[in-house]
Amino acid sequence: MAMWNPWRGCHKYSEGCQFCYIHKGDKRRGIDTNQIIKTDNFMSPIEKNKKGEYKIKSGQVVYLCFSSDFLLEDADDWRMECWRMIKERSDLHFIFLTKRIERFEACIPDDWGSGYENVTVGCTIENQSRADERLSIFKKLPIIHKNVICQPLIEEIDIVKYLDDVELVVVGGESDKNARSLDYNWVLSLRQQCIQTKTNFEFRQCGTHFIKDGKQFKLNVRQLCAQARKAGIDFKVEQI
Ligand code: SF4
C-alpha cells in the first residue's frame, strides 16, 4: 500500500465536510486548507531509485489524493499529468474518493474509453439527497471499478437502485466531539441492501456518537474502527 498526494488542500463542499479531518488537522497546524498547493510528491509514482527501478514497487494499491479531492477544480491544470503517470504505472492500482463526481467527465483523459483497469473511483455520499444527486450520475459513468463510500453517514439512506455495478459499499460514522450520531440500524439497512444486490459491504468505523438498540454511546477515536470490526458484519460476495 502506498499514499500519493499530488496536491493538498480542499474546500468544504457539502454536509459531510462539516468535520473534515483535513481541515481539522490543518487548523491545529495553522495551515490554510483552502489554499491548494502542489506537493513535493507530485511525481512520486514514476520516481526511480539509483538502479532505475520505480520507488513504488509493482503490485501495490496506491491511495490517491487522500488529503484533498482528486476532482477539485483548483487542480484542473495538474490532473492530466497525474493520469499520464497512472497510465504509465499500469502495474499499480489507484484508488481515489470524490464528493465531486459531477465533474468526472470533464476531468478524464481523451483515451479513458470505458475506464482504466487500474483505477477504482469511490463516490462519497452522506445523506439521501447527496446519494440521489451523486449516485444517479455515478451509475452512468464509464468506470471499471466503482465503490460507494457512505462516510460520514448522517441519516438512513436507500441506495439499492444504484448498486448494479458497484463493487463495494463502505459505511462509517463521523469522528468529532460534536459529530452527528450514527445509528447502527442505518448500517444494518445498508448491509441488507448490499446482500440483496450481491455487493461487497464493509462497516469501516463507528461514529463518536453511536446509537445501538436505542441507546446512545460515546466512543473515543481509537475505538471507532475497532468497534466496527468487532461487529463482524462485513459481507463478501464470495460468501454466497
Ligand atoms: S471534499 Fe473531502 S477533503 Fe474536501 S473538505 Fe470535504 S471532506 Fe474534506
Closest ligand 1 atom to 16 CA = 7
> Using CA positions, which residue lies closest to atom 5 of ligand 1?
12
CA angle, corner 206, sides to 186 and 202, nearest 5?
A: 70
Domain interval for residue 148 = 2-239
Pocket test for ligand 1, best of 5, 8, 10 (most atoms within 8 A of CB): 10
Question: Which candidate, 192, 225, 234, places its Cα nearest to that of 207?
Answer: 225
Cell output for 202 = 464493509
Evaluate if residue 196 carries a pLDDT over 80. Answer: yes
Ligand 1 mean position to 17 CA, how many Å? 5
CA of 11 to the centre of ligand 1 (A): 6
Q: Whose CA is nearest to atom 7 of ligand 1?
A: 17
Averaged pLDDT, 193-214: 97
- Ligand 1 centroid – CA 191 distance (Å): 25
Per-residue model confidence as pLDDT tens digits over 70-119: 999 999 999 999 999 999 999 999 999 999 999 999 999 999 999 999 99
**DSSP letters spanning the chain:** -EEE-SEE-----SGGGTT-HHHHHHHHHT--TTS-EE-TTTTGGG-B-TTS-BSS-TT-EEEE-TTS-TT-GGGHHHHHHHHHHHHHTTTSEEEEEES-GGGHHHHS-TT-TT--TTEEEEEEE-SHHHHHHHHHHHTTS--SEEEEEETT--S----GGG-TT--EEEEE---STTPPPEEHHHHHHHHHHHHHHT-EEEEEE--SEEEETTEEEE--TTHHHHHHHHH---B-GGG-
Cell numbers that stand for 201 in this block = 459491504
- For 154, the grid coordinates are 448522517
Q: What is the CA(68)–ligand 1 centre distance, in A?
A: 6
22 Cβ inside 6 Å of ligand 1: yes
- Among protein residues, the one with the nearest Cα to ligand 1's atom 6 is 17
**pLDDT attached to residue 238:** 83
Q: Nearest-CA neighbor of 62 among 120, 4, 124, 143?
A: 4
Q: CA-CA distance, 38 to 48, in Å (whole number)?
A: 20
Distance, in Å, from the CA atom of 130 to the CA atom of 41, rounded to the nearest integer, reads 32
* Cα 227 to averaged position of ligand 1 atoms, centre (Å): 24
pLDDT in the model for residue 142? 98
Summarised one tens digit per residue, pLDDT across range 18-66 is 999 999 999 999 999 999 999 999 999 999 999 999 999 999 999 999 9
How many domains, the chain? 1
Q: Is the pLDDT of residue 240 over 90?
A: no
The single residue listed with the C-alpha cell 492500482 is 93
Q: Stretch 212-217: mean pLDDT, rounded?
A: 96
Distance 214 CA to ligand 1 centre (A): 30
What's the whole-model pTM score?
0.97
pLDDT value at residue 239:
61
